[in-house]
Copies of this chain bind each other. A is one copy, B any other.
Amino acid sequence: MRVLVTGGAGFIGCHLCDRLVAEGHEVVCVDSFKTGRRENVAHLLFHPEFKFVEQDITEPWFVDGPIDGVLHFASPASPEDYLQLPIHTLKVGAFGTYHALELAKAKQAVFVLASTSEVYGDPEVNPQPEGYWGHVNPVGPRSVYDEAKRYAEAMTSAYHRTHGVRIRIPRIFNTYGPHMRVNDGRALPNLMTQAILGEPLTIYGDGSHTRSFCYVSDLVEGVYRLLLAPNPEPLIVNLGNPDEVTVQQLAAEILELTGSRSEITFRPLPEDDPKVRRPDIRRAKEILGWQPVVPRDEGLRKTLPYFKEALAQLHVADRERKRLQLQAMG
């Protein structure tokens, strides 16, 4: 297959590129580096089956040659990112998705939209099945992401109904692993960074709210199965790890793993922050034969070395930046 990955230099996108190349597929990776990073795909740049296109997908764009699958994974995805890029995030969800769908339609490619558990908002049912319509504030600060993704789902569905495009919509729950941005503002990287640096761990709220963390290789396996699934009808499938944990418990596990003696401090929950979050994955099991296989202790252990290395590099870069500043000041 020749597969196009938008957001291919992002956290999940780069793992998808790796997996696709490893499986012998050709990959066209599209990224604007607004939140994706060059180092995530640097090791692929000279691979003969890998092509990189630097492109902001909110502008019109096109790609030559046949494309069998479009994995549309471009978007700011952490609250810190999308609150800093609110209008861009909205444009990626609508304009970017439109351009990606037009491409899939023209190439007769299967279209996989990276959706999110955020379409369920602050859910009133737990776990969340795919038939749940969600509980999202359309005018709150988080709506720039949540509503953009709901809109992207609506547009993707319309391309199936109107033009017969074969579509898959994985709703992705919290995912973690190497190549996350260590400072992307989400709970897990925040806590792990603070533990490694010996800083106090910050918990927003009282720590009783829950998340379900899926290790990235599990998530990639689910997306890959969706891409290859022969079903002609739309597939809307939760992908996540149903092993729900309170943020307080996660903090304790990270403290133990890192051997850190950091204290825990509490801050107010941000507006409209979901209190619980857990995927109902019965549909993924049934249709794709998929379920996560990496338990959290193993996933966290695999993630730790990456965070240590990334933080060390940040530290070196920061020191170098300060040295140059001092030099410039004479």
Closest to A157 in B: B139
Mask of A137-152 contacts with B, CB within 8 angstroms, 1/0: 1111101101110110
Answer whether residue A224 sits at the interface, using C-beta atoms and an 8 A cutoff.
Answer: no
Which parts of A157-172 form the interface with B (CB within 8 Å)?
157-159, 161-162, 169
Please state if B86 and A151 are interface contacts (CB–CB under 8 Å). Answer: no
Q: Which of A143, A147, A154, A161 has the most CB of B within 10 A?
A: A154
Interchain nearest-CB distance for A99 vs B (Å): 11
Residue of B nearest to A94 (CB): B94
Residue A90 lies at the interface, judged by CB distance under 8 Å to chain B: yes
Which of A94, A135, A148, A153 gathers the greatest number of chain B CB atoms within 10 Å? A94
Q: How far does the Cβ of A85 sit from chain B's closest Cβ, in whole Å? A: 10
Interface size on A, residues (CB 8 A): 38
Q: Which residues of B contact A290 (CB under 8 A)?
A: none
- Which residues of chain B are within 8 angstroms of A236 by Cβ–Cβ distance? 139
Residue contact B155 to A138, C-beta cutoff 8 Å: no
Q: Does A138 lie within 8 Å of B162, measured CB to CB? A: no
Q: With A91-B98, A94-B151, A151-B150 in contact, do A157 and B143 touch (Cβ < 8 Å)?
A: yes
Output the nearest chain B residue to A86 by Cβ-Cβ distance: B158
Instruction: Give the CA-CA distance A157 to B271 in the complex, in Å.
Output: 15
CA distance A91 to B146 in the complex (A): 18
Is A95 an interface residue, CB under 8 A from the partner? Answer: yes
Is A240 close to B, CB under 8 A?
no
Contact status A139-B155, CB under 8 Å: no
Q: What chain B residues lie within 8 Å of A139 (beta carbons)?
A: 153-154, 156-157, 169, 234, 236
Give the contacting residue for A141; candidates B148, B153, B159, B161; CB below 8 A.
B161
In the complex, what residues of B have CB within 8 A of residue A317's CB?
none
B153 A151 Cβ-Cβ under 8 A: no
A119 within 8 A of B: yes
Give Cα distance in the complex from A166 to B150, angstroms: 25
Q: Mark A218-243, 1 if CB is under 8 A from B, else 0.
A: 00000000000000001010000000
Q: Is A205 an interface residue (CB 8 A)?
A: no
A98 to chain B, nearest CB (A): 7
Residues of B within 8 Å of A119, CB to CB, are 138
A135 and B136 within 8 A (CB): no
Given A138-B119, A169-B139; A154-B162 close (CB under 8 Å): no
Q: Tell me which residues across on chain B come within 8 A of A98, comparing CB atoms.
A: 91, 94-95
Contacts of A159 in B (CB 8 A): 87
Q: Are A158 and B133 in contact (CB under 8 A)?
A: no
CA distance A94 to B154 in the complex (A): 12
Contact B162 A151 (CB under 8 A): no
A-B contacts, 7 of them at CB < 8 A, read: A94-B94, A94-B95, A95-B98, A133-B137, A133-B138, A139-B154, A139-B156
